[in-house]
Structure 1
Amino acid sequence: MTSKMLAYFREKEQGNETEHVYDSQCPFCSVQCKMQLIESRSGNRRRYKTIGKANPTSNGRLCIKGMHAHQHALHKERLTQPMIKSDGQFVPISWAEALDYIKENITELQQKYGYDAMSVYGSASITNEEAYLMGKFARVALKTKYIDYNGRLCMSAAASAATLTLGIDRGMTNGLQEIPEAECLILAGTNIGECQPTLMPYFEQAKKNGAFIIAVDPRETSTTKLANLHLQLKPGTDAALYNGILHVIFQEDLIDSEFLTTSANGYEEVKQWVLSLELTEISAITGVSERDIRRAATEFATPKTGMIFSARGVEQQTDGSISVRNLLNILLATGKFGKHACGYGAITGQSNGQGAREHGQKADQLPGYRSIENLEDRKYIANVWGISEEELPRKGVSAFEMIEKIDAGEIKGMFLLCSNPVVSNPNAHFVKAALAKLSFLVAVDLFLSETAKLADLILPSTSYLEDEGTMTNFEGRVTVRKAMMKPLGEAKHDWQILCLIAETLGAGHLFSFNSAEEIFNELRVASRGGKADYYGMSYSRLHENEGLLWPCPNEGHSGTNRLFEEGFAHTDRKAKMVVVPNKPEVAKEKTCPKYPLYLTTGRVMSHYLTGVQTRKSSSLEARNFESYVEIHPETAMRYNVKDQKLVKIESKRGSIIVRSKITKAIRKDTLFVPFHWDEGQNVNRLVAADLDPTCRMPSFKVSAVKLTLV
């Protein structure tokens, strides 16, 4: 064929090419970057490209996950019709048959064992409307007290710490735009460079402006490389490290005395406690030198402005909640709340980790951050829902404790939505065995996940490109996520599935919603007057303002950029400082001759949570197609481990086989393994089921293990 003919056909093909643009926002991390998917069609060929869209949070930036998110949403293995297990195999059935099956099984279980025989396991990756409806569905349609969600494994420590200390839990207490103007920043157990990379320019600009950055992490990461000072502490010793910093702050009289007197309770007790501690001992506990502890304290306390950010590195421990409270103690001691470029930020992990924990998925919670045990809160929500207060169940238990109750035979059935507890929970062998005991398991998902494989019935859900609704990012900014694609096959939105099942169970008159916006309008009323007050928001206002930060109590309110300018959220308007012991109430696993190394876990940039979505993306899977273990060169030499070789990591609970990655970025006494893989590479098989006594967070970040060659 001649070049002229080729040009002719190319021009003809281009002439027939059509383009569709789909507005959406990223389904992965808590930044919630706005974006557009551009679909080009030419004959039967389709090409896709994702571009960032201007927004107040990430300013149009995208990371590699957002750029390739469409690959899982359009994947050929998406579930598109209800599937029932028959003789160990899943076969398709109609929605009518699926709903009849659900009604039959739930009714039978609850008639025989009571309403609490059913449980609900939710997600922090669903919309606010769906999170709200999950809480209502559990307590009104199923009438069970057993509901919790996978955010328990992610944000519960920071949420409980902020609530107990400050009286309110919002991801950031001040504006994201203030970060570049802070004079000192502490990044505690957070690897923003890989987990929320579109936020990094804020911190990079702060450093350009002269900010002193302190990073706390057992590993060297792209985030710690930005820091002026890296405190490479021993895993699990965060609480003691922050006691050391407080010791220096009080010893050197670097406190804000006026602020402490007018705005904080408990500071005298904290002062006496930390001054009684020996910095030499704290240095020995943490592995951080006295010089570095002193420098961190003076660099943070001396300037007028400063902010602290924490994430899972601090929080996923048996003293995660109180360790975060110690970080808040540091901010309070130095008076860095309620002022410009001062405050705290909990870097939420999941896409809707903030919103999903505000409106009723937690075991002890009602919408608007109300308490299910508070009589006035119960009466208010019961009235919104059209039931009597007496009909509302009381509080249940945390996510992992529900699994323990399944194992013990107290819970017989589970409704599971957009979560994969077989991979995400600690002691994963136990979790899988426990869920296999259920008499009835319904899973709602995009794919046949490791947990969905255990289900009796699977219901197909819609992706972020198809399911409209609001999301609340880590700032506390509520935005509307547009979804312009039609659902694949017979897939339905999560809120539609909940409404259909509620109708099947006889509660349809309380779930008669026709759109996500209708649900949001009920959520607004349910949250009214609560700490997380969305009442002043509407879809039109959220579109016009590119999102609003809660609390937003009325339609004339512009949202709250900075909290605590006029006092804290406790009744006396004061924050509550607390004495934090160096050693946790629930002991963490210690190394010993048999298990001589610490194991810690975390993310990589190209994957998200248990990898169910990102491992379906060819572009992301190609970057990290298998798990690995980071080993210090001296440790590798001691165990005769070569780079890129398979090794076995074993704890008291199980073992995995992964590939070695020898690097000086890790401590000599510590191994690091990411948690995005399943089966023989599922690092959570090695993690103990010890829980934080306050928030019931598992201790993912500290396990004792041994290393051997395969």
Structure 2
Amino acid sequence: MTTTHCPYCALQCAMHLEPGPDGRLAARPAAFPTNRGGLCRKGWTSAELLTVPDRLTRPLIRKDRASPLEETDWDTALDHVAERLLALRAESGPDSVAVFGSGSLTNEKSYTLGKFARLALATSQIDYNGRFCMSSAAAASTRAFGLDRGMPFPLTDVGQAEVVLLAGANPAETMPPMMGHLSAPTLIVIDPRRSATAQAALTDGGIHLAPRPGTDLSLALGLLHAVRVQGWCDEDFVHGRTHGFEAAWEHAAAWWPERTEQVTGVPATRIRAAADLLGQASRNRSAYILTGRGTEQHAKGTDTVSAWINLALALGLPGRQGSGYGCITGQGNGQGGREHGQKADQLPGYRKIDDPAARTHVARVWGVDPSALPGPGRSAFELLDALGTDHGPRAMLLFGSNPLVSAPHTDRVRDRLASLDLLVAADFVLSETAAMADVVLPVAQWAEESGTMTNLEGRILRRTRAIAPPEGVRTDLEVLSDLALRLGQPPQRFPTDPDTVLAELGRASAGGLSDYSGVTPERLSSGEALHWPVRAQEEPTPHLFLDSFAHPDGRARFVPVPHQPPVETTDDDYPLVATTGRTMGHYQTGAQTRRVPELHRAEPEAYVEVHPDTAARAGLASGDWARITSRRGHTRARVRLTPTARLDTVFLPFHFAGDQSANNLTHPALDPTSRMPEFKVSAVRLEREPAHP
């Protein structure tokens, strides 16, 4: 039996992997603070990923774009990739090669991928799919508190609170074990949908506020107005531990509840009731505000999260035991993946790549001159959108990501991928993006290698190898090392042992905001709760900000944020708003979960939630195939009549591909700070489509 952690979300639930009667591994829940001995459906079936029938075990290569992928050997595949990369660099410079990473990679792989891009390729063109997940909350937390750790407190603290406000989060479906921590507090749920979490709140006497999609920033302003007018603002905290309240209040002062109701559709009486409920709990230092993707995935996502942080600061929640603000990180290593160098503007330890001191420190660890390190590159969608253009990359290496399904404006992304001279994908199955690649490299899965992950609380965990990978499969670290050698790097520069990489990551992150220098295999194996920063010879840090915030003066910052309408508005041709999200049975682009029989049976196809009256106007009945069209493309989905849905809104999960992809619809407008695309608001029309065979 091997004790490890789940391959999916940022809870990183603990589990035992045990061989069954047929010799295959089976997952069983293990006791751990985040999951308390529970698993969701995805966790229970996670071991089935290890034996999916279309598992890749040999490299694939195609002679040309018109030819199919064919099996080859590793030397042929890697030699071909290295030769093409060297030729492209010689012709067009180092930035002609791009790297695209993932929030599902271990810390060791995330770190090595960033190092590989900057040293072996000398390119600035690296980013990762986490840009589509947590980037807005990361940016907002950094400017408010001076650093970003999703939850600056253990998740177990939340279960002791009187009230928890969840803005744009649906853990009842996306992280079911988390609901064990939310059963005691009264919940206030902000969501345009009557989600499973919203229903749980109502069932237990809580509040569900359902704003029009894209107006949650205005709702946060309205709640801040109500909190101050109704006497719940913590003046001592505001004056003693923050800066900038009056500037933020200048915007909120205009958002009295009745005006907020006109814009958001949320009744003023319910806004005042939510403010009172939250305010009373804050007086007892027993309230939390937690945000999720629903607040972040907008072209104004950073400001929207800032509005919720402003509300938390006005109530005096952050930096105190028993209360606080936190972001519910989504991907398995969404936290660690954004700390150690696979972001366009970043070096290990959450350092900025344009900071001379950071460059000097990391270059010393890597054994190079600081001038050898490239500068900042493009963010994720900007990188994808530049592929194959006159001044963009001509080749891309893809690790652990499926942007043909996860990125907005799918048709545009497909065109850009097809325009590359070379696309290389490292994956364990032929995902939709890997199927377009010129070379596909079969790599190990979660239970076939060891490494560390950092969960939503900033706790560093060991994921333990349970079985060897199939013959012919290599780890990502081995792939990067083998390629680096072929690109002229010294053999010792890219080690393949995860513990060796972790030790180097510790040195590279030492002194940074996310300092892992005290993380060792021994401490991890002992079960010690290692919340970063974990400095050498020091205790870990489960609670941040109790004494001071991370800005030089120790104070948090209110950020003035005005009301901003959605980028796209409805009209007669596109009269509805489509919003997207996740379901219980699937994870991310579905490349993993759509291959697990039980999960596929539960959710075999895309669906669209529609109010019965809205469906009737489009001539649609339950179970019909609908065609949903935006100004960028269209998708098809099975109609689910949902009486609790808003009349003006339809909802689609984004786990499906091809003509069922929700991101065929979505808008590529970007947040000016986080560079997050506008996933949550697309103007659409709804029509009948004949059922496909």
Structure 2 length as normaliser, TM-score? 0.96
5 Å-filtered alignment, 1:436-515, equals 436-515=418-497
SS in 1 for 2:448: coil
SS in 2 for 1:689: strand
Is 1:605 aligned to 2:587, yes or no?
no
Q: Which residue of 2 aligns with 1:18?
A: none
Q: Which residue of 2 aligns with 1:573?
A: 554
Contact kept? 1:251, 1:275, Cα under 8 Å: no
Is 1:57 aligned to 2:19, yes or no?
no
5 Å-filtered alignment, 1:343-492, equals 343-409=324-390, 410-492=392-474
Aligned CA distance change for structure 1 residues 48 and 366 (closer, same or farther; 3 Å): closer
Contact kept? 1:79, 1:447, Cα under 8 Å: yes
Q: CA deviation at 1:407?
A: 4.4
Q: Which residue of 2 aligns with 1:334?
A: 315
Q: What amino acid maps onto 1:270 in structure 2?
A: A
- C-alpha distance in 2 between matches for 1:240 and 1:281: 10
Is 1:618 aligned to 2:592, yes or no?
no
- C-alpha distance in 2 between matches for 1:599 and 1:290: 25
Contact kept? 2:606, 2:637, Cα under 8 Å: yes
Q: Which residue of 2 aligns with 1:548?
A: 530
Q: Which residue of 2 aligns with 1:149?
A: 128
Is 1:270 aligned to 2:248, yes or no?
yes
SS in 2 for 1:223: helix
Q: What amino acid maps onto 2:262 in structure 1?
A: A
Q: Which residue of 2 aligns with 1:186?
A: 165
Is 1:24 aligned to 2:4, yes or no?
yes
Identity across matched positions, percent: 41
Moved more, 459-468 or 253-262: 253-262
5 Å-filtered alignment, 1:102-181, equals 102-181=81-160
5 Å-filtered alignment, 1:155-304, equals 155-204=134-183, 206-207=184-185, 212-227=186-201, 228-303=206-281, 304=284
Q: What amino acid maps onto 2:518 in structure 1?
A: G
5 Å-filtered alignment, 1:42-81, equals 45-46=22-23, 48-81=25-58
Q: CA deviation at 1:512?
A: 4.0
Is 1:644 aligned to 2:623, yes or no?
yes
Contact kept? 1:632, 1:665, Cα under 8 Å: yes
- C-alpha distance in 2 between matches for 1:251 and 1:40: 61
- C-alpha distance in 2 between matches for 1:22 and 1:461: 21
- C-alpha distance in 1 between matches for 2:352 and 2:214: 31
Contact kept? 2:112, 2:494, Cα under 8 Å: no
Contact kept? 2:9, 2:175, Cα under 8 Å: yes
Q: What amino acid maps onto 2:299 in structure 1?
A: T
- C-alpha distance in 1 between matches for 2:417 and 2:685: 28
Q: What amino acid maps onto 2:560 in structure 1?
A: V
SS in 1 for 2:601: helix
- C-alpha distance in 1 between matches for 2:373 and 2:538: 33
Contact kept? 1:174, 1:341, Cα under 8 Å: no
Structure 2 gap ranges (5+): none
Aligned CA distance change for structure 1 residues 407 and 651 (closer, same or farther; 3 Å): farther
Is 1:516 aligned to 2:459, yes or no?
no
- C-alpha distance in 2 between matches for 1:680 and 1:492: 33
Q: Which residue of 1 aligns with 2:647?
A: 668
Q: What amino acid maps onto 2:394 in structure 1?
A: K
Q: What amino acid maps onto 1:313 in structure 2?
A: G
Moved more, 191-200 or 71-80: 71-80
SS in 2 for 1:302: helix
Q: CA deviation at 1:565?
A: 0.7
Q: What amino acid maps onto 1:191 in structure 2?
A: N
Cα RMSD, aligned residues only? 1.2
- C-alpha distance in 2 between matches for 1:99 and 1:593: 53
Q: What amino acid maps onto 1:220 in structure 2?
A: R
Contact kept? 2:45, 2:596, Cα under 8 Å: yes
Q: Deviations over 1:320-374 (max 9, x none)?
A: 1111111110111111112222112211111110110010111001001000011
Q: What amino acid maps onto 2:97 in structure 1?
A: M
Q: What amino acid maps onto 1:289 in structure 2?
A: P
- C-alpha distance in 2 between matches for 1:254 and 1:347: 25
Q: Which residue of 2 aligns with 1:39?
A: 19
Contact kept? 1:174, 1:344, Cα under 8 Å: no
- C-alpha distance in 2 between matches for 1:608 and 1:273: 38
Q: What amino acid maps onto 2:4 in structure 1?
A: S
Q: Deviations over 1:37-85 (max 9, x none)?
A: 22234xxx44553211112221221111011112122112111011111
- C-alpha distance in 1 between matches for 2:682 and 2:423: 31
- C-alpha distance in 1 between matches for 2:274 and 2:314: 14
- C-alpha distance in 1 between matches for 2:160 and 2:237: 21
SS in 1 for 2:460: strand
Contact kept? 1:649, 1:655, Cα under 8 Å: yes
Q: Deviations over 1:511-569 (max 9, x none)?
A: 34141000000001111111101111111101113441101112341x11111011110
Q: What amino acid maps onto 1:39 in structure 2?
A: P
Q: CA deviation at 1:408?
A: 2.2
- C-alpha distance in 2 between matches for 1:422 and 1:581: 34
Q: Deviations over 1:373-409 (max 9, x none)?
A: 1110111111111111100000001011011211423
- C-alpha distance in 2 between matches for 1:123 and 1:140: 19
Aligned CA distance change for structure 1 residues 81 and 37 (closer, same or farther; 3 Å): same
Q: What amino acid maps onto 1:351 in structure 2?
A: G
- C-alpha distance in 2 between matches for 1:596 and 1:461: 45
- C-alpha distance in 1 between matches for 2:471 and 2:528: 32
Q: What amino acid maps onto 1:114 in structure 2?
A: G
- C-alpha distance in 2 between matches for 1:271 and 1:202: 33
Q: Deviations over 1:554-604 (max 9, x none)?
A: 2341x11111011110111111101111115xx521111100000000111
- C-alpha distance in 1 between matches for 2:136 and 2:244: 21
Contact kept? 1:186, 1:308, Cα under 8 Å: yes
- C-alpha distance in 1 between matches for 2:642 and 2:254: 38
Q: What amino acid maps onto 1:55 in structure 2?
A: F
Contact kept? 1:26, 1:32, Cα under 8 Å: yes
Q: Which residue of 1 aligns with 2:515?
A: 533
Structure 1 gap ranges (5+): 1-20
Q: CA deviation at 1:510?
A: 5.0
- C-alpha distance in 1 between matches for 2:25 and 2:543: 39
Contact kept? 1:629, 1:672, Cα under 8 Å: yes
Paired residues, number: 679
Q: Deviations over 1:63-116 (max 9, x none)?
A: 110111121221121110111113521112211111211111001000000010
- C-alpha distance in 2 between matches for 1:533 and 1:692: 28
Contact kept? 1:23, 1:483, Cα under 8 Å: no
Contact kept? 1:466, 1:486, Cα under 8 Å: yes
Q: Deviations over 1:470-502 (max 9, x none)?
A: 000111110000012111121111111111111
Contact kept? 1:129, 1:470, Cα under 8 Å: yes
Q: What amino acid maps onto 2:189 in structure 1?
A: A
- C-alpha distance in 1 between matches for 2:20 and 2:175: 29
- C-alpha distance in 1 between matches for 2:252 and 2:644: 31
